[in-house]
Structures are given as C-alpha cells and as structure tokens.
Amino acid sequence: MKINKRAKREAKQLFQLCLVNGLLDENRARQVAQQVASAGTRSTPAVLAHFLRLLSLDLAQHTAAIESATPLSEGLRTAIQAGLARRYGPGLTTTFTHTPALIGGVRIQVGSDVYDSSVRAGLAALEKRF
C-alpha cells in the first residue's frame, strides 16, 4: 500500500491526539482508530496503516526487554527500571527474561537502543576482533 504525504500527516495528527502528557493513551488510540475506520473514506486504509506504524514505534520505544543469564533479584530489577525511567522517561514497560545463552551479564533493548554487557556479547566481540 502506498502511503502519501497527506495520509502520513493526518496519521501523525491523529497520533498526537492520542498522547496525554507525552504518553500514549491506549483507550484514546483505540477510539481514534475506530472512528477513522468508520469514516470509510478513500484515504482511510493508508491513514490507519501509518497510524498503526506510529503506534508500533511508540510501543517499541516505551518497551524495555531485559534479558539476564540468571534470574535477577527484586532489588536489581528495581534499580534497572529506575535507571531506564531516568534515561527514557516514565511510561516505560519492562519485561524480564531469563536467557542462559547469555552466559553472564544482562542485555537490555529499548526500541533500537541495545545495552549488552553479557559475556556472550563480549566473546562475540572478541571473536570478531580475530
């Protein structure tokens, strides 16, 4: 589907309507999507597609995937969440995953940002240097 500039601009304006204090209001987003879908104009599919893309990007930017080789203690989880909140602001959704393949350390991904201090990443970097 080809999304023209006008559809992008309208989708962005709709997305701005869904923000409350800089954070996405899911209920409002859902309502906006329903209203746009019910409008049934010719540009509706393109506007909705770009609107969903913006929502996906926002969701990814406000989601932190935290992987660790061993289960983290509650104190460490809280410390990491606080650090991420300070760096990326409030409204960040965090998910903790136990990944033994990391061997040691923690790997954090927020949107396109990746903080990898795992042993596996270190060994991979070392292998790359060879």
Q: Which residues contact 42 (CB under 8 A, 6 or more apart)?
A: none
Taking CB under 8 A as the binding criterion, the range among 7-15, 18-26, 38-46, 117-125 that sits at the site for other proteins is 117-125
Q: Restricting to residues 37-76, which ones interact with other proteins according to CB under 8 A? A: 68-70, 72-73, 76
**Total number of residues that touch other proteins (CB under 8 A):** 29
Decide if 108 contacts 64 (C-beta within 8 A).
yes
Taking CB under 8 A as the binding criterion, the range among 13-21, 27-35, 50-58, 82-90 that sits at the site for other proteins is 82-90
Among 20, 57, 59, 124, binds other proteins (CB under 8 A): 124
Burial of 102 (0-12, 13-18, 19+ CB in 10 A): buried
Cβ nearer to other proteins, comparing 9 with 87? 87
Q: What is the spatial distance between Cα 59 and Cα 99, in angstroms, rounded to a whole number? A: 23
Q: Can you say how many angstroms the Cα of residue 125 is from the centroid of all Cα atoms in its chain? A: 26
Q: Restricting to residues 95-114, which ones interact with other proteins according to CB under 8 A? A: 100, 103-106, 108
Q: Which residues contact 29 (CB under 8 A, 6 or more apart)?
A: 18, 55
Contact positions vs other proteins (CB under 8 A)? 68-70, 72-73, 76, 79-80, 82-84, 86-87, 100, 103-106, 108, 115, 117, 119-120, 123-124, 126-127, 129-130
